[in-house]
C-alpha cells in the first residue's frame, strides 16, 4: 500500500480507501462486513470512509464495531453530514449549525470514537448560508471532534468560497469527494484545477463505476446473480449503465489492456483514477474479502501515457466529461 498527502495538509491517507456505501447495514451482513474491514486492514488500508446517511446510520455502526480494538492513531476515519437521517424530521438534513452539531455527536457514538479525522459536507446546502455552515464546521474542529473538514461533490466556485471562509475561521478545508472513473470525468476541467490552486485534493468514489468497469456485466447476458446491479434496491443506481449495450461492449474492450499489464479490469480502473495527481485516494467497496484483496493490488501501479490513450480510444463516446454535471446533479433544495 502507498500513502498520499490529503490536500496541502500534513495528513497522509492510504491511496486506496475502504468505503461502506451500499454495503454495510444493507447489502451484506455484519459478519461479512467485518471480514471485509479486516481484509482492508491486512492489506494496509488505513483510511475508512462512511456517512451517517448510509443505510440510515447503520453503516457507521457496523464500521465502528468492525474497527473496535484497532489502534485509533493508525487509522483515518472519515464520515459525512447532509442527507436525511433518523425519522427525517424538518431539521434532520442539510448543513445548518443545528444539524451539524447534532450529527457529529451521533456519528461519533456510532463509530465508537471521540473524533473523526475528516468530517465532510456530503453535498452543498442551498438553503443554509455558507457562513453558518463553515462556522459550524469550525466549532466542530475547535471542540476536537474532527481534525480536518472536507466536502463532497461541490462545484469549483463552491470550493473557492468554502476554502476562503475556512481560512478566515482558522480551520483546514482539505478535500473534496466526487465521483470519478474512466467513464465519469466531470471534475477534470474545473474542479481539479481549482482544487490544485487552493490546496485541496480528491478522495474519489465509484472508481470502477459501481462494478461496470469490472466487465462482469456483459452485453446480451443476464445480470450475474448476487451482483450489485441485480440487488433489488442497490441496482437502481446503475440500471442505466448496465442497460446500455453499447457501453457494456466498449468496456469489454478494456480486457486486453488489463491483461497486457497483468491486471484485472477492476485493478486497471482503480489504477486509472490514481494516475491523476490531484487524487489522494480511490474508495473501494466490497461484499467479500476477496474483492478487497484483489483491488488493493492497484496501489502503486503506473500507467504510461500510451495506455491512457488506448483507454480513451476504447471508451470514446461513452465518457461523461461535462463540468456542468456537478451542479446539474446536485440537490437544489434540502432533502426531506
Whole-angstrom distance, CA of residue 286 vs CA of residue 275: 22
Letter string b/e over residues 140-174, b meaning 16 or more CB atoms within 10 A of that residue's CB: bbeeebbbbbbbbbbbbebbbbbbebbeebebbbb
Cell digits of residue 121: 459536507
82 is an active site residue? no
**CA torsion angle for 138, 143, 144, 147 (degrees, to 10)?**
0
CA–CA separation, 332 and 336 (whole Å): 12
Choice among 3, 54, 119, 180 that is catalytic: 54
Cβ contact 334:125 at 8 Å: yes
Rounded CA-CA distance 33/62 in Å is: 7
Q: Which of 13, 55, 17 is nearest to 207 (CA)?
A: 17
d(CA 185, CA 318): 11
Residues in the chain: 336
Q: Could you give the residue numbers annotated as active site?
A: 54
Amino acid at each position: 500500500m502507498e500513502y498520499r498527502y490529503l490536500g496541502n495538509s500534513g495528513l497522509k491517507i492510504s491511496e486506496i480507501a475502504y468505503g461502506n456505501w451500499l454495503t454495510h447495514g444493507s447489502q451484506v451482513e455484519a459478519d461479512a462486513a467485518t471480514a471485509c474491514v479486516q481484509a482492508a486492514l491486512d492489506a494496509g488500508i488505513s483510511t475508512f470512509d462512511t456517512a451517517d446517511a448510509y443505510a440510515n446510520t447503520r453503516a457507521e455502526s457496523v464500521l465502528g464495531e468492525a474497527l473496535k480494538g484497532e489502534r485509533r492513531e493508525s487509522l483515518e476515519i472519515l464520515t459525512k453530514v447532509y442527507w436525511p437521517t433518523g425519522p427525517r424530521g424538518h431539521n434532520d438534513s442539510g448543513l445548518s449549525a443545528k444539524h451539524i452539531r447534532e450529527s457529529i455527536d451521533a456519528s461519533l457514538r456510532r463509530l465508537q470514537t471521540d473524533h473523526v479525522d475528516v468530517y465532510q459536507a456530503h453535498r452543498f446546502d442551498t438553503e443554509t448560508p455558507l457562513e453558518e455552515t463553515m462556522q459550524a464546521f469550525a466549532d466542530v474542529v475547535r471542540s476536537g471532534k474532527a481534525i480536518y473538514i472536507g466536502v463532497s461533490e461541490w462545484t469549483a466556485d463552491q470550493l473557492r468560497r468554502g476554502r476562503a471562509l475556512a481560512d478566515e475561521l482558522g480551520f483546514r478545508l482539505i478535500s473534496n469527494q466526487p465521483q470519478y472513473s474512466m467513464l465519469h470525468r466531470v471534475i477534470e476541467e474545473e474542479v481539479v484545477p481549482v482544487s490544485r490552486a487552493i490546496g485541496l485534493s480528491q478522495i474519489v468514489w465509484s472508481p470502477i463505476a459501481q462494478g461496470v468497469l469490472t466487465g462482469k456485466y456483459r452485453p446480451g447476458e443476464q445480470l450475474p446473480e448476487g451482483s450489485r446491479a441485480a440487488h433489488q434496491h442497490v441496482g437502481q443506481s446503475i440500471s442505466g449503465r448496465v442497460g446500455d449495450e453499447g457501453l457494456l461492449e466498449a468496456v469489454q474492450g478494456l480486457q486486453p489492456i488489463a491483461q497486457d499489464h497483468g491486471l484485472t479490469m477492476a485493478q486497471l480502473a482503480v489504477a486509472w483514477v490514481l494516475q491523476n495527481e490531484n487524487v489522494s485516494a480511490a474508495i473501494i467497496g466490497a461484499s467479500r474479502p476477496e474483492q478487497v484483496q484483489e483491488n488493493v493490488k492497484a496501489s502503486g501501479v503506473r500507467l504510461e501515457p500510451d495506455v491512457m490513450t488506448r483507454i480513451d480510444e476504447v471508451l470514446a463516446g461513452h465518457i461523461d466529461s461535462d463540468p456542468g454535471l456537478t451542479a446539474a446533479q446536485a440537490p437544489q433544495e434540502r432533502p426531506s
